[in-house]
Amino acid sequence: MSKISERRALLLAAIVPVVLVAGCSAGSNTQAMKGEASPATPTETMMTPTETGMESPTTTETMTGTATPTGTMTAATQPRAAVQNYFDALKSGNVDAVVKTFTSDAVVAFDGQATATGAQAVRSLYEKLLKDGADLKGATHTIDETRNAGTQDAFARSTSKQGDTTYRELFMLSHQGGQWLISRFMNNQGT
């Protein structure tokens, strides 16, 4: 298999599950949202982070994309840092800081909530979430994977634990104005 074919196969393997999950959220079939129909990830071909678009591993991350929470606020110059900024803002309870991590046309689909589209709807959703007493200060967040899809787009997967509840999150990010911002966000409870 040529390098170009390998890259295309990896890109499709990365993007198709995202599209399937997003499509399932719009319909009544939630089988994929529960992880029952999730496709396997390719493991037979090992490529370097540069070839796959995956960020280089840090001391808290392995080549598989597994990470541990750092809890540090960093500049959103990389997709992973942008997602960490979101979690830090969420834990602080600062709605303005949370909204600043999203693009102006962001779409947020929280498990059990109506989909929020655009900055004002995203703000309202997080105001409601934080007003309803969601205790996010003790939540833990693990960024499981980040991958670039070209120079202007990326996606990230994470797992969060809030009390006894575990959530899976999927982020689509866009590079705008020299920083990475969240353009699409979806979460659901893990089973």
- Alpha-carbon separation of residue 36 from 3, 39, 40, 122 (angstroms): 31, 9, 11, 29
- The verdict on pTM exceeding 0.75 is no
CA distance 107 to 118: 6
Q: Are 140 and 69 in contact (CB under 8 A)?
A: yes
pLDDT tens, N- to C-terminus, the chain (191 residues): 555 546 555 555 666 555 445 444 444 444 444 444 444 444 333 333 444 444 433 333 332 333 434 434 344 569 999 999 999 999 888 999 999 999 999 999 988 889 999 999 999 999 988 886 666 778 899 999 999 999 999 999 999 998 888 999 999 999 999 999 999 999 999 87
- The position carrying tokens 């994309």 is 65
Q: Is 19 helix (H, G, I), strand (E, B) or coil?
A: helix
